[in-house]
Structure 1
Amino acid sequence: MTIEDVQNHPDSRNMPINKVGIKDIRHPFVFVDRDGHQRATVGTFNMSVNLPHHQKGTHMSRFVALLNEDCQQLSIKGFNALLEKMTHTLEAETGYLTTEFLYFVNKSAPITGVKSLLDYQIKLDGHWSKSDQKIKITVVIPVTSLCPCSKKISEYGAHNQRSHITVTAEIGDNICAEDIIQLVEKQASSELFSLLKRPDEKYVTELAYDNPKFVEDVVRDIASVLNDDQRILAYTLEAENFESIHNHSAYAVIENNKLT
């Protein structure tokens, strides 16, 4: 028995669709960075393609089949290959793909060397056509910031807080998530660790005290290293300090498109 393929019927409304596909589908995979480090995670995917005016519908099941067949491992370079294959599989001219997931880095405490996993939020966002390919990565990096003003005016210490640095960058495929993480953490008052022994806690507390930064200092220092990195083509950089002595955050943004 032949089962009719309704999606392939012509459509007479003469109206193309910019994006059609599936949203918020969760799928497990192993994320592989440039150095071959592998981290098991679960991603939330959005997958879509353009639909020409004469075609009634797209083949939704092909998106899911593609994840199951071709997304056991994923890297930044592999993400672009998956995006291209999706566009061809759906017989489209332009494809759009995003995934958001947690990426865990096994970090060593600064003095004792005790290891623990710290999580970072990552988003990969890309589109592909024969004439234009673009990938953006967003990384949310938690750090410590210590207030220079508080240090200056207080006799007994200075208030500090956890901060989120969010970098959204248009990139080539020769940079990995850990590169961006390390660039950012080096510019903070101190980086974070999931597990610290007493000697480690003493070290990071004193490090932050010796390296105070306003939210303005943080974004300017990070922007400086992003500007010098040729692998980053454009970026939006956000810093949010979750203030410990206020019920609000301090916030700053710098944007730079090196392609213009």
Structure 2
Amino acid sequence: MADEKTAKLPRAVYERELLRLQTELVKLQEWVRADGARLVVVFEGRDAAGKGGTIKRLAEHLNPRVARTVALPKPTERERTQWYFQRYVKHLPTAGEIVLFDRSWYNRAGVEHVMGFCTKEEHQLFLRQCPVFERMLVEGGILLRKYWFSVSDAVQAERFRRRLADPTRRWKLSAMDLESITRWEAYSRAKDEMLVHTDISDAPWYIVESDDKKRARLNMMAHLLDSVPYHEVPPPVLELPPRPPSSGYERPPRGLQTYVPDHSANL
């Protein structure tokens, strides 16, 4: 029998707490906008660790003009010749913005290093420069939060199997993802080395146990909210104005426009 810590979270409990946290996240967003704060949240972890689902729930009720998700493709030929951090700097927030990095500059410490997409010298340079880079961000006033989603090999494999069988989620699975199965220990060593160099007091790593996706989402959101000194900003008082009387406008005949067919009528 599962103990209290690992017992399955009742759906009603999960949905109630998720809504409460999402409501607080809206308050956080309004504080960021009103205070001119800049918040960066980095989501890292193994493939199928639950990063994407957490970002989706976190941002579900936020204003996309305030809270942006950044998920960069592989670098272009031009970007490969730039300073490594350069392509990420241009996505950092300005005053009143939140940026959620769905993977980040830590690609160099993980997939690029393990798969041989960077040289050993480039990897070592990253480990030296990254703490300096992040201290500069923090000293410049950016609120930086870094989360590593930790998933076991058995749970990861099961999630991969479900993705293969689900046509709506198969796009999430790539040959690179499958390669991570055979390189599990290499990724583990890379992660351990990354933490040794980049788990600094100015920008610490926070580990999210994510074998249970629902618990991981709630735990991560609650921690983020607890870590930021936000407060509720009173919303502006708004009132719906009365609709003015008609001035004689008449809608054009429906036959002049092309309408979407009523697909639902045939269900």
Q: After TM superposition, is the score higher than 0.5?
A: no
Of structures 1 and 2, the one with the larger relative CO (CA 8 A, separation 6+) is 2
Structure number with higher strand proportion = 1
Length-normalised TM-score, structure 1: 0.25
Length-normalised TM-score, structure 2: 0.24
Structure number with higher helix proportion = 2
